Amino acid sequence: MDSALGRLWQSALFCLLALGLSGCGINNIPTYDEQVKAAWAQVENQYQRRADLIPNLVKTVKAYAAHERETLQAVTEARAKVSSMQVDENLLNDPAKLQQFEAAQAQLSSALARLMVVVERYPDLKADQNFLALQSQLEGTENRIGVARRDYIQAVERYNREIRTFPGRIWHMVLYSDMPIRDTFQATSEDADKAPEVDFQ
């Protein structure tokens, strides 16, 4: 009888402990880490969407402005550089690689902005329906990139704050010490606070 009562008390204590732990943030760190990864996946998705638009954009511009080879080549090369980068979960854990990735994306944004300046010299191209559709998609993608980056920054901030404050700091030391503080985006150029201009209507 005593051992049955003892087991009952142990079970009740275990249930209370489990309930108490679940309410005190023990799962916050892995939950927030998964949100960071999901937000980063959305950033990658939007960058990929932009990269997918570029070949058709270059092809359309080339049909009207074939002699603008230097600008077209700069866009193509910047896209190739971005596409050749190894983008995986390890990128989030390596600040140098993340900065390199962002620099390549900034170079592509700059090349696209130069391409749009070239377009201004070709009224027929600016009236082409294919070009107008691509330009609209590119503008929408640039906006989506901005939103995805903002969401990623917020997810990283929430995750880092949880690791650095009580009680998350204790859970991090005890259970999740292998999960690092995450870096976020940093400006890669002096003009980073200005979005590339893609609308010349």
pTM of the entire predicted model: 0.78
Average model confidence (pLDDT) across the chain: 85
CA atoms within 13 A on the CB side of 194: 8
Q: Between the CA of residue 164 and those of 37, 40, 158, 171, 174, what are the distances in Å?
A: 19, 21, 10, 10, 13
- Rounded to 10 degrees, the C-alpha dihedral 191/193/199/201 comes to -90
pLDDT tens per residue, range 141-189: 999 999 999 999 999 999 999 999 988 999 999 999 999 999 887 755 5
- Average pLDDT (82-87) is 87
pLDDT at residue 17 in the model: 55
145 touches 46 (CB < 8 A):
yes
